[in-house]
Amino acid sequence: MESFQYDLPARPCVALPVRAELWGVVSSGNLEVLVETGPPPDQCRFQVETSAHGFSEVWQAVLEDFVTRHAVGGLSFSIHDAGATPAVVSLRLEQAMQSLKAP
């Protein structure tokens, strides 16, 4: 397993604080993402644990694009990845965003 953490500047999320919510499952080629209220409102935190080694740059690129697309400041995304492709990662993050709810 490889793990890393990124704290990226982000526009504040309007729905803060959010109810913790889990999306996706850990199975081959898939991942789960847990969305919680976390860092300051101008920061977004990603904690990634992945079974695919050597992809930190790809992860960073995927997550930077995601932060550009959405106002996710104040949120933390914890990810357990079992070899999902970037396409699946983006899709799960989009699905998680769609479901953000107040606690």
Partner 1 sequence: MNRIPGKSYREATARQRVAGLLDADSFAEWVGPAARATSPHLAALGLPCSFDDGVVVGQGRVEEAVVTIIAQEGQFNGGAVGEVHGAKIRGALQRAVRERPTAVVFCIDSGGVRLHEANAGLLAISEIMRALLAVQGAGIPVWALVGGSCGAFGGMGIVARLCDAVVMSEEGRLGLSGPEVIETVMGVEEFDARDRALVWRVTGGKIRRTLGEATVLVEDRLSAFRAALESLRHSCPVALPRTLDALQAVQDQLTARATRESDLRDGQALWDRLGLGADAAWMDTAQFNRRLQELA
Partner 2 sequence: MNATGPSRLWNHEARRRTARLTRCAAFLRGKEVAAADMVPFLEAVLEPGDRVCLEGNNQKQADFLAAALADCSAQRVHDLHLVQSVLALPEHMTLFEKGIARRLDFSFAGPQAHHLARLVQDRAIEIGAIHTYLELFGRYFIDLTPQVCLIAAQAADAAGNLYLGPNTEDTPAIVEATAFKSGIVIAQVNELRDALPRVDVPADWVDCFVVAPRPHHIEPLFTRDPAHITEIQVLMAMMAIKGIYAAYGVERLNHGIGYDTAAIELLLPTYGAELGLKGRVARHWALNPHPTLIPAIEAGFVERVHSFGSEVGMEAYVAARPDVFFTGPDGSLRSNRAFCQMAGLYACDLFIGSTLQMDLDGNSSTATLGRITGFGGAPNMGSDARGRRHASAAWLQAGREKCGGGPPVRGQKLVVQVVETWREPHHPTFVERLDAWQLQEDMGLALPPIMIHGDDVSHVVTEEGVANLLLCRTPEERSQAIRGVAGYTPVGRARDRRFVENLRDRGIIRRPEDLGIDVRQATRDLLAARTIKDLVRISDGLYQPPKQFRNW
The Cα–Cα gap between 57 and 42 comes to 23
Whichever of 30 and 60 has its CB closer to partner 1, that residue is 30
**Residue 26 interacting with partner 1 (CB under 8 A):** yes
Question: Tokens at residue 22, please?
Answer: 């889990």
Question: Tokens at residue 93, please?
Answer: 């993050």
Per CB under 8 A, which of residues 82..101 are in contact with partner 1? 82
Site string for partner 2, 7-36 (x = CB under 8 A): ----------------------x-------
Asked if 84 and 40 count as a contact pair (C-beta separation under 8 A), the reply is no
The Cα–Cα gap between 90 and 82 comes to 14
Footprint on this chain of partner 1 (rule: CB under 8 A): 1, 20, 22, 24-27, 30, 32, 34, 36, 49, 51, 78, 80-82
